[in-house]
């Protein structure tokens, strides 16, 4: 059974107050001695844990590294990521019939997606581990982000993409930053299988969201939303709605909330409800939530115009599903027509 509790004594495996913990069996692992992505005892997902969890008063500056007190290092390989705007959308707000609706524009990050938040932390960890090549499977955004941050760190990058199923602009971004690009005859999940095998053989450092340190950077989305919402409205949001591909952001925001509870900054009842949104053609998380399951069943065939979430086996489901259930959230599937209509509405608001 998944155990996401943050309490307990600091284990011997901790390095400067940081360690990795298995969310399945509770094993603790030294964070920077060896490259590790999954629990060596049971194969479960790992999560970064800390001896102390900071309050909002301990944050300073702007961007992802404003939240250094909640991250494994004080600084990273940075391209001024984070600090993205939270926009008012009055027309959509009125049509949705809610009192206050705001949209977080993660496209304002350096390479155009939230993936930059994870890479600024993940590439810094790679440097600490002394690895000499970075790698990822991607539907587009991850490849662009890793290529940019790998170039900034002067570390070679290998990207595996599903042939013919990635937006051309994202392939161009990765190529311009010097990444080596390999196309795989299959979907994203097939690419991740291949790159995970390479990582297991020690041929590259994996920076997909299976890597627990990447999600540490992504949890800053939640910290920013909470601070921006409270500044604008005096309150935290009741609900946060997220697109779901590999479910990394859902898991990361739930971890953000749990850490704030551990720090005494919010109660469990105050955690915003997490709602995941998937395309109808790639909705294994929705299927799991509707069935009340604590696991997903892999979809072998996935298809949607939304290439960034065309994923049939969300690897972070064991962390994300508890986040949906424990916050009294939900998951919904939408059609490609609804996705394109929503894009137009955002463009016009």
Q: Where are the domains of the chain?
A: 1-52, 59-212, 238-348
User: Fold for domain 59-212?
Assistant: Rossmann fold (3.40.50)
Look at strands 180-184 and 157-162 and give their pairing: parallel
Residue whose structure tokens are 């170039």: 151
Q: Tell me the helices (H) and strands (E) count for the chain, helix number first.
A: 11, 12
User: Fold for domain 238-348?
Assistant: Rossmann fold (3.40.50)
Enter the pTM of the model.
0.94
Are 31 and 122 in contact, with CB atoms under 8 Å apart? no
Are 228 and 108 in contact, with CB atoms under 8 Å apart? no
Within this chain, domains 59-212 and 238-348 share the same CATH topology: yes
Closest CA to 279 of 297, 306, 298, 299: 306
Beta bridge partners of 330: 275
Reading the chain (349 residues) residue by residue, the pLDDT tens digits are 566 778 789 999 999 999 999 999 999 999 999 999 999 999 999 999 999 999 999 999 999 999 999 999 999 999 999 999 999 999 999 999 999 999 999 999 999 999 999 999 999 999 999 999 999 998 889 999 999 999 999 999 999 998 887 778 888 999 999 999 999 898 888 998 999 998 989 899 999 999 999 999 999 999 999 999 999 999 999 999 999 999 999 999 999 999 999 999 999 999 999 999 999 999 999 999 999 999 999 999 999 999 889 999 999 999 999 999 999 999 999 999 999 999 999 999 8
* Rounded-to-integer distance, Cα 253 and Cα 275, Å: 11
């Amino acid at each position: 059974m998944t155990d996401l509790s943050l309490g307990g004594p600091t284990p011997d495996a901790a390095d400067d107050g940081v360690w990795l913990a298995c969310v399945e069996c509770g094993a603790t692992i030294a964070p920077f001695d060896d490259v590790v992505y999954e629990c060596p005892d049971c194969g479960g997902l790992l999560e970064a844990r800390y001896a102390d969890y900071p309050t909002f008063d301990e944050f300073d500056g702007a961007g992802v590294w404003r939240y250094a007190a909640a991250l494994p290092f004080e600084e990273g390989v940075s391209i001024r990521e984070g600090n993205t705007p939270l926009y008012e959308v009055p027309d959509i707000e009125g049509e949705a019939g809610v009192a206050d609706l705001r949209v977080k524009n993660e496209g304002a990050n350096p390479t155009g997606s939230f993936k930059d938040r994870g890479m600024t932390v993940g590439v810094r960890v790679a440097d600490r581990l002394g690895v000499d090549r970075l790698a990822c499977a991607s539907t587009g955004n991850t490849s662009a982000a890793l290529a940019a941050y790998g170039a900034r760190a002067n570390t070679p990058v290998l990207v595996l993409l599903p042939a013919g199923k990635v937006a051309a602009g994202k392939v161009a971004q990765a190529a311009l930053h010097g990444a080596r690009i390999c196309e795989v005859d299959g979907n994203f999940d097939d690419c991740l299988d291949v790159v995970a095998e390479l990582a297991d053989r020690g041929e590259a450092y994996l920076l997909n969201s299976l890597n627990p340190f990447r999600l540490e950077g992504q949890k800053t989305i939640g910290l920013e939303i909470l601070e921006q919402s409270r500044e604008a409205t005096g309150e935290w949001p009741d609900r946060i709605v997220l697109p779901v591909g590999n479910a990394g952001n859902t898991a990361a925001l739930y971890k953000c909330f749990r850490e704030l509870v551990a720090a005494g900054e919010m109660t469990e009842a105050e955690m915003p409800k997490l709602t995941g949104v998937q395309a109808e053609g790639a909705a294994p998380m929705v299927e799991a939530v509707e069935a009340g399951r604590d696991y997903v069943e892999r979809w072998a065939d996935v298809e949607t115009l939304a290439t960034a979430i065309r994923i049939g086996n969300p690897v972070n489901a064991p962390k994300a599903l508890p986040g949906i259930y424990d916050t009294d959230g939900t998951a919904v599937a939408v059609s490609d027509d609804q996705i394109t209509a929503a894009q137009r509405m955002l463009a016009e608001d």
